[in-house]
Amino acid sequence: MKKSTLFPLAFTIFALFFGAGNLLFPPMLGAMAGQNLVPA
């Protein structure tokens, strides 16, 4: 596989698994838990 195709493929896979949803959604759930933060 050429380097010119490897980088876009690697970036696409990285974005798929570690996209904005994985960075924003868990803190939002913690904030919405309120006093139930520890069990959440």
Task: Give the CA distances from residue 17 to residues 2, 20, 28, in Å, rounded to whole numbers and listed in that order.
Answer: 23, 9, 18
Reported pTM? 0.44
The predicted structure's pLDDT at residue 4: 84
H-run or E-run covering 40: none
Residue 40: pLDDT band (50, 70, 90) is low
Alpha-carbon distance of 32 to 34, in angstroms, equals 5
Answer whether residue 16 shows pLDDT above 80: yes
Q: Cα(8)–Cα(17) distance, rounded to whole angstroms?
A: 14
